[in-house]
């Protein structure tokens, strides 16, 4: 099916949304089924999609007490520059699917919240229009089949004023997203990937029997031959900070740092690539320990609250990216909805910091955590048995 436009007149009042789950429900109420599935769905049987949340829910924090938390500061350093909280908006394709202003509205909200906004290669708004808003803008890059095109896009982003490049490394091709296949999902004519195809119609707009038209299009555009040699080439061609997104193995994170990468994003693409990949939060501690401060470590996939941000910090992250929640906010209430999502994360993080005995984000990185359940714990951590038949527990974190 070619997707329809979001239902008019169904936008929620942003100030009535008290959690990101509220925002998701409000978005679901106004989005056509095909678009809702495109945003919410994962690959295969969606086991990794579900595991991302389950893994966060297994992490528990040991709060500290008798500390002065009369003032809790959420500010953080992201790629050498201050942000009001250790959060960036992740790259998400085709945001005009959910709201007419698409990425423009989301980027304005990110600017107001004081956090970076990441423009996707598959944005429906040109990068130049987004950087013109004056906020912090990163550009996400897919390596493209046509020789030289990825580097051209990187130069375009740099010329437009982006302050970082984020190379996605876990998409040799799009994972098999069965919701889109069953829906025979295709983009409406008004939604275009303006950085590709000259902004014109493409295979993504042509319904394909028993297939996702978006997957057909990206299969034509994305290179499956991306290697470390291309990372070195990109590093040599740009002066901007470089992030690699889609790293789950400590060995790859260490090598990224050796190649001069400024940050790795521990990510399973929100459960949309390899179904069966481990949850990002499970991969995080080993990666953070392995790089040892040689580059920043960010995390995405499954972050749904300020408490989740706290957990990621405690397990070694410099910060997190959020993808679906801002899109839900955009669908539910436009720019105000995205602002609400980021405001909720900020308020929840401030609350979580104080209740955990942390006055700053740096304090949160010294918290200890317990991970309970059968899948608990990074390799090498000391396990504590909960008794016969009881849940396993693994301690992690600083003193």
Catalytic residue among 99, 195, 205, 269: 269
Rounded Cα distance between 342 and 93, Å, is 19
Q: Within 13 Å, how many C-alpha atoms sit on residue 105's CB side?
A: 25
Centroid of chain to Cα 360: 23
Q: Is there a catalytic annotation at residue 217?
A: no
Q: Which long-range contacts (CB under 8 A, 24 or more apart) does 234-237 make?
A: 234/141, 234/150, 234/151, 234/154, 234/165, 234/167, 235/259, 235/260, 235/261, 237/151, 237/154, 237/155
Residue 197 CA to residue 20 CA, distance in Å, equals 35
Q: Is the separation of the CB atoms in 359 and 72 below 8 Å?
A: yes
What span, in angstroms and rounded, lies between the C-alpha atoms of 263 and 162? 16
Number of H helices, E strands in the chain: 14, 14
Catalytic (active-site) positions? 269
């Amino acid at each position: 099916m070619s997707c329809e436009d979001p239902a008019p007149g169904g936008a929620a009042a942003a100030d009535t949304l008290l959690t990101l789950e509220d925002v998701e429900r409000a978005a679901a109420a106004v989005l056509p089924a095909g678009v809702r599935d495109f945003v919410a769905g994962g690959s295969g049987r969606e086991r990794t999609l579900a595991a991302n949340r389950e893994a966060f829910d297994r992490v528990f924090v040991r709060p500290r007490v008798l500390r002065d938390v009369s003032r809790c500061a959420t500010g953080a350093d992201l790629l050498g520059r201050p942000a009001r909280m250790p959060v960036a908006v992740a790259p998400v394709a085709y945001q005009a699917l959910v709201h007419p202003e698409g990425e423009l509205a989301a980027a304005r909200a990110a600017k107001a919240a004081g956090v970076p906004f990441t423009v996707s290669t598959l944005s429906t708004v040109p990068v130049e229009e987004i950087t013109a808003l004056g906020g912090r803008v990163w550009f996400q890059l897919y390596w493209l089949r046509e020789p030289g095109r990825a580097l051209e896009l990187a130069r375009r982003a740099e010329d437009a004023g982006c302050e970082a490049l984020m190379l996605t490394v876990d998409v040799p091709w799009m994972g098999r997203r069965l919701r889109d296949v069953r829906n025979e999902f295709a983009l409406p004519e008004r939604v275009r990937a303006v950085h590709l195809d000259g902004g014109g119609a493409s295979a993504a707009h042509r319904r394909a029997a028993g297939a996702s038209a978006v997957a057909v299009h990206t299969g034509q555009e994305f290179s499956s031959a991306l290697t470390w040699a291309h990372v070195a080439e990109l590093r040599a061609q740009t002066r901007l900070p470089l992030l690699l997104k889609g790293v789950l193995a400590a060995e790859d994170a260490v090598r990224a740092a050796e190649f001069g990468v400024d940050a790795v994003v521990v990510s399973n693409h929100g459960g949309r690539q390899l179904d069966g990949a481990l949850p990002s939060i499970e991969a995080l501690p080993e990666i953070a320990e392995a790089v040892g401060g040689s580059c920043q470590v960010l995390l995405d996939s499954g972050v749904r609250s300020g408490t989740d941000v706290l957990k990621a910090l405690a397990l070694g992250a410099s910060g997190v990216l959020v993808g679906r929640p801002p899109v839900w906010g955009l669908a539910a209430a436009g720019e105000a909805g995205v602002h609400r999502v980021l405001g909720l994360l900020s308020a929840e993080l401030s609350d979580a910091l104080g209740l955990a005995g942390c006055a700053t984000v740096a304090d949160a990185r010294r918290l200890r955590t317990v991970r309970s359940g059968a899948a608990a714990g990074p390799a090498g951590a000391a396990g504590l048995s909960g008794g016969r038949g009881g849940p396993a527990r693994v301690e992690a974190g600083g003193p």
